Amino acid sequence: MRKPRNYDDDLKALADKARKLHARKVQQLGELVIATGADALPVEVLAGALIGAAAAKDAGVKEGWHAKGEAFFQGARRDAGGDRSSHPKPAPDNRDALSSGSEPGA
C-alpha cells in the first residue's frame, strides 16, 4: 500500500523554495546595481529611471537598452578573469553630432 502524501510538508517546502528564490533575486539585483555603478545615483533618480524603463513603449529604445545590457554582460564575463584596465573601452562615437550641421563652415 502506498504511503499517503503529506501536502502540508509539500506546501512548506514550496514556500521555502520560493523564499530562497526571492532572496537570490534581490541579491542579484543589488549586485547588478553595484556592478553598473548605479549605486552612486540618488535612490530617487534610480527609481525614476527604472519606472521610466518599465513604462517605455518604444521598441527601438528597448532594443538599444538590450544591446547595451548584452555588451555589459559580455564584458563582465570577459573581465571576470582579469583586470578591467586590460580591456579599455573605445571612445564614444560623436559622428552623429558632427553631421547635424554643427561643423565649422557648414
pLDDT in tens, 4-23: 889 999 999 999 999 999 99
| Cβ neighbours, 10 Å, residue 46 | 14
Reported as a single tens digit per residue, the pLDDT across 39-62 is 999 999 999 999 999 999 999 999
Give the CA count within 13 Å in the CB-facing half-sphere of 23: 6
* pLDDT in the model for residue 81: 55
Predicted TM-score (pTM) of this structure: 0.60
User: Rounded CA gap, 94 and 100, in Å?
Assistant: 11
102 versus 48: which is more confidently predicted?
Answer: 48
User: Rounded CA gap, 42 and 83, in Å?
Assistant: 28
